[in-house]
Amino acid sequence: MITAEALGKTYSSGGRPLPVLQGIDLVIDSEAFVAVVGPSGSGKTTLLGLLAGLDRPTAGRVTLDGQDLSALTEDQRAEFRARHVGFVFQTFHLLPTLTALENVLVPLELVGGAREARNRAVALLERVGLGDRMDHFPAQLSGGEQQRVALARAFANRPKILFADEPTGNLDQDTGATIVEMLEELNREARTTLVMVTHDLTVAERAHRVIALAGGRVVSDREGGGGAAVVRPAASDVAGR
Amino acid sequence: MNLSFAVRLAARESRHGARRLGVYMASITLGVAALVSIHSFRDDVARSVREEADVLMGADARFSSGRAFPDSVTSFLDSLATEGVGIAYVTTALSMVQAPASDDVRLLQIQAGDGDFPYYGRVATRPAGLWGSQANGSVALVDPAVLTQLRVSIGDTLVVGQARLLLAGTVEDVPTDLGYQAAIGPRVYISRQTLDAAGLLGFGSVARYRAYLRLPDLAQHAVIDERYTEILRATRVRYELAVDQADDISNGVRFLGRFLALVGLGALLLGGIGVASAVHVYIREKRTAVAVLRCLGADQWTVFAAYLIQASGLGLAGSAVGVVLGVLVQGLLPGFLAGVLPVAVETRLSATSALAGLGIGVWVAGIFALIPLLQVRDVPPLKAIRQDFESGAPRMDAPYLGAYGALVGSIVLLCALEAPEPTIGLGFAAGLGIAVAALAGTAWVLARATRRFFPARASYPIRQGVSNLFRPQNQTVSVTLALGFGAFVVGTLLQVQASLVDDLSISFGAGQPNVLLFDIQRDQREGVISMLPDAARDGVEVAPLVPARITAINGVSSDELLARERGPDRPAGWALRREYRNTYRSGIGRAERLIAGRWWDGTPGSDDATVVDAGDLARVSLEEEVARDLRVSLGDTLSWNVAGATLESVVTSVRSVEWSRLEPNFYAIFEPGPLDDAPQSTIIVARIPDPETRAGFQRDLVRAFPNVSVLDFSRVQQALDAILSRVRQAVAFLGIFSAIAGLVVLVGALASSRVQRMREGALLKTLGARRRQVLLVLLAEYGALGTLATAAGLLLSWAASALVARRVFEIPFVPSPPVLVAIWLSVVGLTLVVGLAGSRSLVARPPLAVLRDVPE
Ligand SMILES: Nc1ncnc2c1ncn2[C@@H]1O[C@H](COP(=O)(O)OP(=O)(O)OP(=O)(O)O)[C@@H](O)[C@H]1O
Ligand SMILES: [Mg+2]
């Protein structure tokens, strides 16, 4: 479960404060699939970064799975991400010097100890349909294939929460749709909480819940077409899972 | 930190990184190779010298003296001979040698010795087997150079003094030689009887007397030492063991080797700058990957460790190649240096040198990579989702300060360890630091000026090329440093050398004396002067030479003074022990200036005009440095032993002397009178401009006065020119070496910025540039880079060579623009060649490449 309380981020540009996010209160249930939408510059990426603990808020706080992120040091947050959080990026961000298989192995090896790491990585790549491309480098894969490797990598550690920032933004309609389907399936199978930023409204409609941002504030928070997620007014329940 | 992950990541990354960073590690390779070969070869030479100590001396021990052995010494040598010790006498002297066949005369070195010397090693002659024949009867052997100098061949007659000798053959190889000796002062080998009969050893002649010993039992040495120490001290005869001589030589070799090692270390450290620069670029390109790793949960130090392991691994590989290269070079050196080395050098693989080279290489690579690698920690994970996100300036935290401290500390420590003496090493480190800082500063100023004032109307490819020097993540500074340092070293050496040559030609030039006549006996003086050609009469200077030793200063005996503790009031040993060749005259010489006291006629000194009352003691004028080292000043008394008689004197003036002028100059000059009747010889300097007249005069003089020697300065100049051309070769070697080091850094810089260049080139083409234009951009960039580097290096070398010329050699600095232009052209040319060779594939690349993010 993810909670954000009075979350705010203000940059100073040219000496003047520039509020990018203001007073965001959110509770996202475990295993939910939430889409974040909004016009460009509305603060979607900023919100995602704060929720994932990649950046520190200037106001409020974030709790992931009962853990208050502001109480952790930078390296402790990294450790927390390694164990509980997965990422999918718009530009895929595979490590160009590693093969597909090695890319999937990264999170497993970071946590260490997983003796069956390799088997799991192979299984995941097969699951996304790339069983025969495991030793290829990213430059030898198409965009869609790269994003499928990124999916396999994101799910490698069975994360409790998965963040995706416009995962289909760099892909054509059909390929994008395949990726979202896979995300949904994996989300269901692994019982992961999925937070996805998207511009694509048809994609957003598949989510359980759609949060719309504008000017750094939540302007609408409604049920999506994807299912029976409970829409709650912000911060009515802060209890951990 | 997750070490096992770091190791795994490093191993996987290096599949791609190795090629790009690998070229850069070549700069480490060169330095390591230099260090390993110098270290091991130094040991090889030192060891071989020691193993061949007896061959080097030709005996087990030797006695030597500047005058004929006194009876006390000859009698104990005789008694040693009865105990079974082999004793061979060798006397060396200078003499005019005349060849009737060609009518040429030359001043040559005469070596007169017993036939059984050397006791160890074989002397090779041509025709073979002649060695020994010269020791009996009227036969001479010569060094091969004598044949050309006197224009004679085997079978001709040579006249040495009053003796006529048959030139029977040449001496091709003398094991006791330090190789170059025969080239500098070619010798004529004759018997001792011939030397006596030739009548060369007149009063005051420059000769060296030696007795070589072959000890049946080396333990005898201790006995000799003990039994004869007193006699040896009293007679100033030197006793020396072959092993001690070998130790001296091998210490000299080590000392020299350590200087060379500093050059190698310099190359290594320059390579280090290259490594730092390459790693910097590499890491900047890896920022996104680092951010992703951080997103996936890798902590700062894990990522840092992964890249540090990668850099060190490459450093290890680069150093290992360097070690192999160094060992190969070590094996080649004896062949290269055969003419210069004292002994046949046997090379041996030295594990310590190899390991030390490997260790130093890895350490330097690691420590230079450390600072740019620390940037890895500052990459925020946020960068993965926000491409343009940049964190602020790198913080100056404890690890950074530690890394800088370790870097400076390592450099200083390495320099101190490699140098002949720690202080020299510290000086070298400081000099290196100053040179690099000054170079970087100059380059920065030049770069800014270029950017500011570069004409905007220049054609597009040129402007683009020049502005490429300032592209983000450019390596302009490090390449400038490396290339500029090469230009700096070469420029400084060549300009100093040019100034030296210039100064020499002034010394030997118009108006300066060009012949020196010496060993003129008292009764020959008037005769010799009368033989001088009319043209030479004017500038003739005649100076009597009176050998003397100092026996006491202010009444305290020399022995007592020497026995004192070293300190401010103990005179320097050299000044107290040496045999002085004093003169007396009434006037002040052309190269002299009186600085204290008064000349005989009352002329005051420039700094201090004190009048010293000499009473009835002889008045003497001292040269300022010898006065300082003797710790005497105006009014102090000096007692001299002049041919057995004692002469008391008072210092009444002090002179400064311009020694580089070719005038007869003296440490001590007496007023005329007290020395008039002392045993003495005479030297004369004169100027005989016409070479024909000069040659004729020498022939006539030798016929009339066989014992008088003539030094023809034009020959000296030729010899000096020969030495200078050797220096030029060494300079060329150092220059080529530093140029290669610079080029390796250039190659590395090109390799590590390949991806960027490839994108730029492809982008240009996508935008419609033709291949020729892309090529022109590159040409402009490399041309500008080479020019920038040389301009910085040469500007600095100008200052440095002016400083070295004036301060170290005390000669006027003569700038030589042709040298500078030549260096500039060659560096720019090399930069263009290397740059274009490395960019061929870029120009040929299809524009499609820009669309795909191909990792190297
Ligand atoms: N480091 C920064 N300094 C100043 N302003 C920033 C910084 N980072 C982001 N912003 C501003 O914050 C606002 C929100 O940015 P954000 O990237 O979160 O928008 P977004 O909704 O993700 O937009 P898009 O759909 O284009 O990705 C933008 O106006 C942006 O200019
Ligand atoms: Mg965004």
In sequence order, what DSSP letters do the residues of A42-63 get, joined into one string?
A: SSHHHHHHHHTTSS--SEEEEE
When the pLDDT of each residue in chain A is averaged and rounded to a whole number, the result is 87
Q: In 3D, which of B159, B186, B151, B156 has the Cα closest to residue B169?
A: B156
- Whether residue B123 contacts residue B173, with contact meaning beta carbons closer than 8 Å, is answered with yes
Domains of chain A: 2-96+159-239 (3.40.50.300)
* pLDDT value, residue A113: 62
Q: Is the pLDDT of residue B181 over 60?
A: no
The minimum CA-CA distance between B405 and chain A, rounded to whole Å, is 26
Rounded Cα distance, A196 and A190, in Å: 16
Q: Is the pLDDT of residue B185 over 80?
A: no
Average pLDDT (A21-44) is: 93
Tens digits of per-residue pLDDT, B321-352? 999 999 998 888 888 776 666 677 788 888 99
Q: Of residues B412 and B758, which shows the higher confidence score?
A: B412
Which residues in chain B are closer than 8 Å to A90, comparing Cβ atoms?
A: 385
Nearest to B385 among A45, A109, A112 (CB): A45
Backbone torsion region of residue A166, taken as left when φ is above 0, otherwise alpha when ψ lies between -120 and 50, otherwise beta: left
Structure tokens at B475: 């390596």
* pLDDT value, residue A237: 38
A190 touching B (Cβ < 8 Å): no
Q: Is the pLDDT of residue B215 over 90?
A: no
Q: What percent of chain B is predicted at pLDDT more than 70?
A: 91
Helix or strand or coil: residue B683?
strand
Q: Is the pLDDT of residue B855 over 50?
A: no
For residue B299, the chain A residue with the least C-alpha distance is A75
Which residues in chain A are closer than 8 Å to B386, comparing Cβ atoms?
A: 45, 49
| Residue A101 CB neighbour total at 10 angstroms | 19
Q: Of residues B598 and B804, which shows the higher confidence score?
A: B598
Average pLDDT (B660-664) is: 69
Average pLDDT (B612-632) is: 92
Rounded Cα distance, A211 and A231, in Å: 10
Whose alpha carbon is nearest atom 22 of ligand 1? Answer: A45
- Whether residue B5 contacts residue A112, with contact meaning beta carbons closer than 8 Å, is answered with yes
CB-based neighbours (< 5 A) of ligand 2, an ion: A 45
Task: Identify the DSSP state of B801.
Answer: H
> B365 exposed, middle or buried (CB, 10 Å; 0-12, 13-18, 19+)?
buried
Average pLDDT (B18-28) is: 73
Tens digits of per-residue pLDDT, B441-492? 888 888 888 878 877 777 888 888 888 887 766 778 878 888 888 888 888 8
Tell me what ipTM this predicted complex has: 0.86
Where residue B170 falls among pLDDT bands split at 50, 70, 90? Answer: very high
> Residue ranges of the alpha helices (H) in B386-475?
398-418, 422-453, 460-468
* pLDDT value, residue B464: 80
Rounded Cα distance, B32 and B358, in Å: 7
Taken in order B88, B89, B93, B99, the sign of the CA dihedral is: negative
Q: In this complex, do A110 and B297 lie within 8 Å of one another by their Cβ atoms?
A: yes
Where residue B388 falls among pLDDT bands split at 50, 70, 90? Answer: low
Structure tokens at B1: 């930190």
Tens digits of per-residue pLDDT, B133-155? 888 778 999 988 888 888 899 99
Q: What percent of chain A is predicted at pLDDT more than 70?
A: 93
How many angstroms separate the alpha carbon of residue A232 from the centre of ligand 2? Answer: 25
Q: What percent of chain A is predicted at pLDDT more than 90?
A: 49
- Whether residue B264 contacts residue B330, with contact meaning beta carbons closer than 8 Å, is answered with no
pTM greater than 0.90 (yes/no) = no
Q: What percent of chain B is predicted at pLDDT more than 90?
A: 20
* pLDDT value, residue B651: 95
Q: Of residues B114 and A25, which shows the higher confidence score?
A: A25
Ligand 1 atom nearest the C-alpha of A47 is 18
In sequence order, what DSSP letters do the residues of B8-27 get, joined into one string?
A: HHHHHHHHHHHHHHHHHHHH
* Binding-face residues of B in 298-327 toward A, CB within 8 A: 298-302
A85 touching B (Cβ < 8 Å): yes
Tens digits of per-residue pLDDT, B757-803? 777 777 777 677 777 888 888 888 888 888 888 888 888 888 888 88
Rounded Cα distance, B265 and B259, in Å: 10
Q: Of residues B341 and B549, which shows the higher confidence score?
A: B549
- Whether residue B675 contacts residue B61, with contact meaning beta carbons closer than 8 Å, is answered with no
Phi and psi of B469, rounded to 5°? -60, -20
How many angstroms separate the alpha carbon of residue A7 from the centre of ligand 2? Answer: 18
Residue B545 β-bridge partners: B681
- Whether residue B356 contacts residue B39, with contact meaning beta carbons closer than 8 Å, is answered with yes
Structure tokens at B425: 């090493």
Tens digits of per-residue pLDDT, B694-747? 888 888 888 888 888 888 877 777 777 777 777 677 666 766 777 777 777 777
Tens digits of per-residue pLDDT, A104-156? 999 888 887 657 889 999 999 999 999 999 999 988 899 899 999 999 999 99
When the pLDDT of each residue in chain B is averaged and rounded to a whole number, the result is 84
Give me the amino acid identity at B571: P
Tens digits of per-residue pLDDT, A91-118? 888 988 889 999 999 988 888 765 788 9
Structure tokens at B271: 């390579």
Rounded Cα distance, B363 and B722, in Å: 42
Contacts of B453 (CB under 8 A, 6+ apart): none
* pLDDT value, residue B583: 94
Tens digits of per-residue pLDDT, B551-573? 999 999 988 888 888 888 888 88
Q: In 3D, which of B379, B372, B368 has the Cα closest to residue B300?
A: B379
Where residue A58 falls among pLDDT bands split at 50, 70, 90? Answer: very high
Whose alpha carbon is nearest atom 26 of ligand 1? Answer: A40
Q: Is the pLDDT of residue B693 over 80?
A: yes
Q: Which range is most confident: B162-171, B376-385, B473-482, B715-724?
A: B162-171
> Residue ranges of the alpha helices (H) in B665-712?
691-704
* pLDDT value, residue B20: 67
* pLDDT value, residue A240: 35
Q: In 3D, which of B187, B193, B172 has the Cα closest to residue B94?
A: B187
| Residue B24 CB neighbour total at 10 angstroms | 31
How many angstroms separate the alpha carbon of residue A40 from the centre of ligand 2? Answer: 7
Q: In 3D, which of B104, B210, B122 has the Cα closest to residue B167?
A: B104
Q: What CA–CA distances, in Å, run from B88 to B91, B110, B177, B214, B838?
A: 10, 16, 17, 9, 66
